[in-house]
Structure 1
Amino acid sequence: MDDESNQASSWNLMCGHPGMHPASRKTPKHRGQLMRPAFSLCRRSLLAAIPSLALPGIARAQGGWPARTIRFVNPGPAGGSGDVVARIVMERVGALLGQTIIIDNRPGAGTNIGMAQVAQSAPDGYTMGLASIAANAVNQWIYKTLPFDPERDFAAVSLMVLMPNIMVVPSSLPAGNVAEFIAYAKQRRSIDYGSVGAGSSQHLAGVQFALSTGLDMQHVPYTNSGQLNSDLIEGRTTVLFQSVSAVAEMVRAGRMKALAVTGTQRLSAFPDVPTLVEAGVDITSTGWFGVVTPANVPAPILDAMHKATVTAIADPGVQKKLTELGAIPRSSESRDSFAAFMQTETLKYRDIIKASGATAN
């Protein structure tokens, strides 16, 4: 999850106009301008008219689905990591399905506003949503109430990516590795770490790091990722467990130092940066993004969505773009396996949140 914004925006990945489902009560009053990259109308017509070309190996679902525009709700802001992942993958999914897919950004309340809209949409296959560690695993443990039930109100489609974070500190900080950072932090009564909000992968990585090292670390939530990064560079924040794409260029420019990555393996973008486990802190903390729909979407449609998503993520061009973003492309073998993955994440973070006492209310 990335920084929140009060403006919602939509982007047409191909062409055509979005068929929007009636918004929930919390829908922002204004939508961003619809942006339309060049896309051949003749090719679009050909794909729609000849399913065998648009859907190699993917049979059309019942009722000729998809017969019109599909809306993909991103519960975060335009330009955030989830937004970028969704655009990369859904562009290819739309080509495979032979239909327009628009990305509809509905940020707010730690992803709860956007995901409530997904849950409340008609189960007809024309609304999809961006599942995440926040909405589909953690928020139920840190919010007193949610406008949806993470298990009951969604149907699982597939995982898309794992998103490790990168531990960064100000360039001026007298610590060149994780061990030196821990020693530095122990000399102070308390240090703070920023994130883009309670329940975000950045927040959870900080919670795990504090629990594992015994450090007194105070969480400072931000609503703007740019300000979060600026405060770190200027030394007003001590450490971040930030999205790789959000800080990669600043690390390369020497404006901040990368000490470790939070995932299970080193990143190709930063091969010299060790994992936390390699650095002596026995934890992994990885964000992720996937695809869900409202509950009760017909199984043939869900199966077609799953197959298109898996095929898209296997595409070499898609994989290259995702890897450059700092993501690890990872689809689910089946819809059931993605549902099981989300359940495992839910139980894992229940215990972590309980131990930390973290709350968003």
Structure 2
Amino acid sequence: MAPFFKKYAGATLIIKNVPGAGSLIGTNKIYISEPNGLTIGIINGPGSMQAQLTDVKGVKYDLAKFTWLARLTAEQRLIVAGAKSKFKSIEAMMNATTPVKFGAPGLGSSNFYEAILIAEALGIKIDMITGYETSNEVAIAILRGELDAATGSYSSVISAVQNGDMVAVAQYGDLKMPDIAKVPHVANLPVKRKDGKDLLSIVFALNDVGRAIVAPPGVPPDRAKFLEDALKKTLDDPNFRKIAEKQQMEIVYLPGAKAKQVAQKGLAISPALKKELLEVASKYQKRQ
């Protein structure tokens, strides 16, 4: 993406990968940067929103105050079960009398929150196993039969589904993917608790914010408009599109204003729902 953005922005790019704390450090760094239009970054929207909603220590940003330039993508998400698991359908999981073993890379990961909120909403008894370093390690544990299931993005699990190592038991998100058209959508499944739909709304909101490009709060409107236009031209470039297609990168673009609205909507949960979110999280964190 960088060469194309350089072409349309006419700027020299210095690219820095800022890892740490599940992208928290990098997101904080963008937020506190000088709002001169010279610092922009790609943020992990779901992780950033989940951290803000759950009052994670170290969050120094407010997603609603960033200068939003674009949403790049928002992938369809899947609940997948291993070929060795006895729970190979969402119905089997919902009717299970013994816990379904789910895995996630850490207590603060989006995968963790997605799984526990969906399980609570649908009444699925689960044992949430964390401590894995990456999602790849979770996938390996599923293939070995150590875990039954996990959540994951379409692009990260579809190869395993297609070759039979995993089974897609449910999906969530707004995209229509032909090869998983028959997989049940979480939004259409019956909830088992009174606030089930509300818990699912958090899951959907985390996914909707997607991968986004933002700048610090307070960037002058003319500079923000210039950057947004350059990004749109980048994403529309036929050669960039060819590269994205080869890499199975789904572009689900939203302009900055609409991307910001999606983030604001996701953050605007009631105090009562936030309390439920924190109580659900605490319930599973105490089991670790």
Q: TM-score range by the shorter chain?
A: 0.7 to 0.9
Query: Please, which of 221, 226, 229 is the counterpart of residue 299 of structure 1?
Result: 221
3-state DSSP class of the match of 1:357? helix
Contact 2:70-2:231 at 8 Å conserved across structures: yes
Provide the residue aligned with 2:6 in structure 1.
94
Over 3 Å counting, the alpha-carbon distance change for 1:236 and 1:179 in structure 2 is: same
Provide the residue aligned with 2:166 in structure 1.
256
Q: State the one-letter code of the partner of 2:253.
A: R
Provide the residue aligned with 1:194 in structure 2.
103
In the TM superposition, what whole-angstrom CA distance separates every residue of 1:135-158 from its partner, at most 9, and x where no partner exists? 542212334432412247632222
Query: Please, which of 29, 33, 41 is the counterpart of residue 129 of structure 1?
Result: 41
Q: State the one-letter code of the partner of 1:310.
A: K
Over 3 Å counting, the alpha-carbon distance change for 1:144 and 1:280 in structure 2 is: closer
Q: State the one-letter code of the partner of 1:329.
A: V
Q: In 1, Cα distance between the equivalents of 2:14 and 2:94?
A: 45
Q: State the one-letter code of the partner of 1:330.
A: Y
3-state DSSP class of the match of 2:169? strand
**Unaligned 5+ runs, structure 1:** 1-87
Over 3 Å counting, the alpha-carbon distance change for 1:345 and 1:154 in structure 2 is: same
Q: State the one-letter code of the partner of 2:70.
A: S
Q: How much does 1:231 deviate?
A: 0.6
Provide the residue aligned with 2:259 in structure 1.
338
TM-score (norm 1): 0.64
Q: In 1, Cα distance between the equivalents of 2:169 and 2:162?
A: 13
1:139 to 2:51 alignment: yes
3-state DSSP class of the match of 1:127? coil
Q: State the one-letter code of the partner of 1:128.
A: I
1:272-283 equivalence runs, <5 A: 272-278=182-188, 283=200
Q: In 2, Cα distance between the equivalents of 1:319 and 1:230?
A: 31
Structure ranking higher in helix proportion = 2
TM-score (norm 2): 0.78
Q: State the one-letter code of the partner of 1:224.
A: T
1:1-361 equivalence runs, <5 A: 88=1, 90-151=2-63, 154-183=66-95, 186-188=96-98, 190-221=99-130, 222-268=132-178, 270-278=180-188, 283=200, 285=204, 286=207, 288-315=210-237, 318=240, 321=244, 325=248, 327=250, 329-332=252-255, 335-348=256-269, 350=274, 353-354=277-278, 356-358=280-282
Provide the residue aligned with 1:69 in structure 2.
none
Contact 1:158-1:292 at 8 Å conserved across structures: yes
Q: State the one-letter code of the partner of 1:180.
A: A
Over 3 Å counting, the alpha-carbon distance change for 1:176 and 1:145 in structure 2 is: closer
Q: In 2, Cα distance between the equivalents of 1:144 and 1:237?
A: 27
Deviates most, 309-318 or 223-232: 309-318
Q: How much does 1:280 deviate?
A: 5.5
Q: How much does 1:297 deviate?
A: 2.2
3-state DSSP class of the match of 1:163? coil
Identity %: 19
Q: State the one-letter code of the partner of 1:356.
A: V
Q: How much does 1:241 deviate?
A: 0.8
Q: In 2, Cα distance between the equivalents of 1:152 and 1:187?
A: 42
Over 3 Å counting, the alpha-carbon distance change for 1:344 and 1:253 in structure 2 is: same
Q: How many residues align?
A: 268
**Unaligned 5+ runs, structure 2:** 192-196
Q: In 1, Cα distance between the equivalents of 2:177 and 2:91?
A: 20
Q: Which has the higher contact order (CA 8 A, sep 6+)?
A: 2
Q: In 2, Cα distance between the equivalents of 1:360 and 1:148?
A: 23
Contact 1:202-1:243 at 8 Å conserved across structures: no
Larger radius of gyration: 1
Q: In 2, Cα distance between the equivalents of 1:295 and 1:133?
A: 16
Q: In 2, Cα distance between the equivalents of 1:323 and 1:264?
A: 22
Q: How much does 1:263 deviate?
A: 1.3
